[in-house]
Chain A
Amino acid sequence: MTGVETPAVGLTHGASEDTGLGHRGPESKSIVVPYGFWLFVLSDMVLFSALFATYATLAHATDGGPASNELFDRTLVAIETIALLLSSFVCGLAMIAARRRNLIWTQIWLLVTGLLGAVFLGIELYEFAMMIGEGAGPQRSAFLSAFFTLVGCHGAHVTAGLLWIGTMMAQFWAKGFQPHIMRRMMCLSIFWHALDIIWVAIFTIVYLMGTLP
């Protein structure tokens, strides 16, 4: 393809060929906002990957202190996992109710999502307190620093999510189902499900692999 003929440029508007995705002009906000939020979530997952890599590197750096198979209680972990997975499902119900513009059920499902999240956090904080009480706090060894940071970072995200859920409930109550409120609900939904995905990874790599016989 040597040389280029000057393409036939019309002098009228609206003459651009619609040759597929993205050629129709800028997308609408209802696409752009969640897309941007997904990108943010992906960057957050990179952050978690760095923490996972750290955990993997330091998993055996126990400095003579307690190791993973002495510390983790599978029952507790199972309960918190169920709570979190359930909360994701309930968050989905909240999204459906919001699409149907049903304020009561949106608030109820959001509240349940938040409560299940709080259960998850409560169990996690309990687990942390037990470990610290036994002398297995994050200052004990590199392995424990990595554990507390990876799991704690996820917990911090859950906490931020709970604050967001509370704010969202207040916004639905004050402003109803306006487009920008719905977009935020969509982002909250993405965030909450993403936290679930991260938890599945933590559950597998930290708790399951860490308590293999």
Chain B
Amino acid sequence: MFGRLTWEAIPLTEPIPLITSLVVILAIGAAVVWVTVKGWWPYLWNEYITSTDHKRIGIMYFVLGLVMLIRGFADAIMMRAQQMFAVGASQGYLPPEHYNQIFTAHGTIMIFFVAMPLVISFMNFVVPLQLGVRDVAFPTMNNVSFWLTASGVLLTNLSLFIGEYARTGWLGFPPLSEQQFSPGVGVDYYLVALQIAGVGTVLTAVNFVTTILKTRAPGMSYLRMPVFCWTTLAANLLILAAFPVLTATYAMLMLDRYLGFHFFTNDGGGNSMLYMNLIWVWGHPEVYILILPAFGIYSEVVSTFSGKPLFGYRSMVFATLAICIISFCVWLHHFFTMGAGADVNAIFGIASMIIAVPTGVKIFNWLFTMYGGRVRFNVPMYWTIGFMLTFVIGGLTGVLLAMPPVDFLVHNSLFLIAHFHQVIIGGVVFAIMAGYTYWFPKAFGFTLDERLGKAIFWCWFIGFHLAFMPLYVLGFWGGTRRLQHIADPTWQPWLDVAFVGALLIGLGIVLTVVQLLYSIKTRDRRLDTTGDPWDGRTLEWLTLSPPPHFNFAVLPDVHGEEAYWTRKQTALREEKLIEEPDYKAIEMPVNTPTGVIVAFFASLCGFALIWYIWWLAIVGLVGAFAVLVWYAWRDEHEHIIPADEVAQLERERRRIRKEQIQTWPRPA
């Protein structure tokens, strides 16, 4: 009746998961009670949960990613603490079977449920605004994508309370991840949750590629799109081309585990090297899926806060597309030590180094954007400069790892760990923080507190270096990754420093939450009354903050690069606005519960598969299909916003802009 699910699945004998579970359940319970008492459910349901508005969906992705950052970081600080304590004679406080789950969960959550959702949150919020359109191409599917990702988050976190998580590392290499060596539910939790979330991600890619290629404001040719839209396009093309490989690979591992197939097993002719190849064919493009939008964010921030157009726009576009394509040709550098031979290793090594060329071009072009500019050191610029200093070292260590003879010394070592954290934290996380600060006023109508913002930056910047520089050293000393216990006591001081660094990063995360709460409380001091607090250059700054549901009363006509900047400069010079348009009624997609209900059934099916409750799995599948058919049966897809309402909102915007014309300086 309940498959292999028994009461023993609840970790009553293990204090850490038990206490964590109780705390989390209490916290969620308290939140639910509070929301109910305040009567916020209708608001949450109508304005967010069932919303098809890309801005709202973007905010939901961001909240999801931020909450998971706390979980992923908790795993990280536990790992640092364990490595600090478990040196020499001591075994630390985490036995191997527990530690191994923690590092697996840390990697999986950080990549799939922190970095991806946070990057996707910006794509969602910003791209339609920058393209000058009202929403993405498929708003309902956008909602479904979000909730499927949330389903993956739910299942992954359930493993803390019921059962256990995988103990294989975040990529689940066989044969270790096969039934023979991992007989419990852990790997199944890992696989099922990621398969469900993966569907959501592929649908997001379909959405954004279509939106960018087929729906842009009139006059916005490809070479007039903001660079963030180019990088979003490239990242989503990568998702389209790479994620199906992940889906196929996980499906094969699931078939091995569930039905006794022999894709990667030690017997029956299985080939575990095949998994290594397939998973990295996905895995390498994945990191470019994360970094390309990050590069886009930096491009926007640097040009805005330097008061200059981005230097070498076409070069940047070409570099983006070059990175996009080459990222598919380098996957073998993750396993040079598998013994594929000198020719193969050398070719992939050289290809991996070639990718450093367009990346280097980008760094120089950002430098030359600042050159001749008037650089304003707001918080987003702190993150950007911090990135430019941190990421290039990460690139250096990356090119070192791309050199097979060097990789033979540092593959899988703490040197590798330091490298990829350097590029992901220095590259992706810093961009997320920059983008968060930069676009927050657009989303909520007030800016975040600057002093706290700078404090957060320094915590991360110093904390990152303290936490990871020692790991480069330990990597050279022969330190490998994923060690629950350290044999050599002379590593102690380095591990201590690394722990302090992690604590500092933790402080940065705490301060981020503090900054948010404080900024909300004192928002009246920092209201964004004009919708353009940073003297922006792209179309999202045309609207007020937050933008109306339909974004633009009339889709803007685009006449050159930097659509908003040229329009703003013309208005300031001519001292008048563009002529008042003929206001028409606007059709916007209706809200829908399809996403959250499909995700409910997907979670049910997923949970059932994990615990071998076959009848429930079928119920989940049938339920999901039924919801889709029910959705397909609806007759009303849009609701109308009357022309008067549009006119009223647009006239308010024009009034504010007219005031700005009187007060802002004339262009040179």
Bound form: Cα–Cα A24–B133 in Å:
12
Q: How far is the CB of A174 from chain B (nearest CB, A)?
A: 8
Q: Taking the complex as formed, is B219 at the interface, i.e. its CB lies under 8 A from any CB of chain A? A: yes
Residue numbers in A under 8 Å from B206 (CB-CB): 36, 39-40, 43
Tell me whether A32 and B219 are in contact in the complex, defined as CB-CB below 8 angstroms, given that A61-B271, A139-B261, A141-B269 are known contacts. Answer: no
By beta carbon, the residue of chain B nearest A138 is B261
Bound form: Cα–Cα A39–B244 in Å:
12
Tell me whether A16 and B263 are in contact in the complex, defined as CB-CB below 8 angstroms, given that A46-B244, A141-B269 are known contacts. Answer: no
B262 engages A145 (CB within 8 Å): yes
By beta carbon, the residue of chain A nearest B263 is A145
Q: How far is the CB of B25 from chain A (nearest CB, A)?
A: 38
Bound form: Cα–Cα A44–B241 in Å:
9
Tell me whether A63 and B267 are in contact in the complex, defined as CB-CB below 8 angstroms, given that A39-B206, A43-B243, A145-B261 are known contacts. Answer: yes
B249 engages A50 (CB within 8 Å): yes
- Count residues of A near B (Cβ-Cβ below 8 Å): 62
Q: Taking the complex as formed, is B651 at the interface, i.e. its CB lies under 8 A from any CB of chain A? A: no
Give chain B's interface residue range (CB within 8 Å of chain A): 35 or more
Bound form: Cα–Cα A49–B248 in Å:
9
Q: Taking the complex as formed, is A173 at the interface, i.e. its CB lies under 8 A from any CB of chain B? A: no
From residue 35 to 59 of chain A, which have CB atoms closer than 8 A to chain B?
35-36, 39-40, 42-44, 46-47, 49-51, 53-54, 57-58
Bound form: Cα–Cα A8–B558 in Å:
11
0 or 1 for each of B603-625: is its CB under 8 Å from A? (1 = yes): 00000000000000000000001
Bound form: Cα–Cα A33–B625 in Å:
21
A7 engages B560 (CB within 8 Å): yes
B263 engages A22 (CB within 8 Å): no
A36 engages B207 (CB within 8 Å): yes
B249 engages A25 (CB within 8 Å): no
Residue numbers in B under 8 Å from A40 (CB-CB): 202-203, 206
Bound form: Cα–Cα A16–B41 in Å:
45
Q: How far is the CB of A172 from chain B (nearest CB, A)?
A: 12
Q: How far is the CB of B180 from chain A (nearest CB, A)?
A: 14
Bound form: Cα–Cα A195–B192 in Å:
26
Bound form: Cα–Cα A31–B214 in Å:
8
Q: How far is the CB of A182 from chain B (nearest CB, A)?
A: 13
6 contacts between A and B (CB under 8 A): A7-B559, A11-B579, A36-B209, A50-B244, A141-B268, A145-B261
Measured CB to CB, the residues of A under 8 A from B are 4, 6-17, 19-20, 22-27, 31-33, 35-36, 39-40, 42-44, 46-47, 49-51, 53-54, 57-58, 61-63, 138-146, 148-149, 153, 163, 167, 171, 174-175, 180, 184
Closest 4 CB pairs of A and B: A16-B219, A61-B269, A142-B269, A26-B215
Q: A6-B569, A22-B221, A145-B270 are in contact. List 13 more A-B contacts (CB 8 A).
A: A8-B559, A13-B554, A25-B218, A26-B555, A27-B215, A43-B241, A46-B241, A50-B245, A50-B281, A58-B271, A63-B269, A141-B268, A141-B269
